[in-house]
Amino acid sequence: GRVLSVYRGLFNLRSTLVQADRIRFVQIRETAASRLLGLGAVYLHAVGVSRKQEDLLPVIPVVRTEHLPDLLRGLLPEFEPGPLTVRPADRSFLRFTGPALAAMAGAVGGGWLLGQLWPEWQPLTGWLTLAGLLPAVWFFVVRVIDWQSSGIGYTNGDFTLRYSKRFYLHTVVIPGRNVVGVT
């Protein structure tokens, strides 16, 4: 019928019944590594499923992205991501990547400063610089992927949002009936 039965947990098995009309949105989450490997995870938010409002229920923990449309169409046909109609401007690249570039410059500058202050500790400060630089470079990769893939789509009365938050890439599908207003 219109009820989705979700089983989750590794050691502590739990099951949840979700009425399809109570689902507010579906979210596809990826990291840069899972995007490069072609993997994604699907979560949903439904009224009355969780105690916390921001908690999402994992529906598909990991799936190949080429199988994702078929699985979503089979489980929740009304939550299919649509094409993007509004995309970031080409000249907004620096706005997307600026924080990551600043983090990379801060890691290199901080490492250089530590090396100047304590020259006898330069091997350690080199490792610390590398340890600070690696997450910053990875964040830069995420922001470049976000710049290429983010945007908003409006198809058949439903909204598709693509954006990044921290190190995650999100695709959110919201039915038009759940949208209160658009600014």
pLDDT tens digits along 51-77 = 665 678 888 888 898 898 888 888 888
Task: Specify whether the CB–CB gap between 29 and 4 falls below 8 A.
Answer: no
Write down the pLDDT at residue 51. 65
User: Looking at beta carbons, which pairs linking 92-101 to residues 24 or more positions away fall under 8 Å?
Assistant: 92/147, 93/147, 96/143, 96/144, 96/146, 96/147, 96/150, 97/140, 97/143, 97/144, 97/147, 99/139, 99/143, 100/136, 100/137, 100/139, 100/140, 100/142, 100/143, 101/140
For residue 130, name the pLDDT band (cuts at 50, 70, 90). very high
pLDDT on residue 139: 92
The alpha carbon of 65 is separated from its chain's Cα centroid by a whole number of angstroms, namely: 14
Tell me the percentage of the chain whose pLDDT exceeds 70: 95
pTM of the model: 0.79
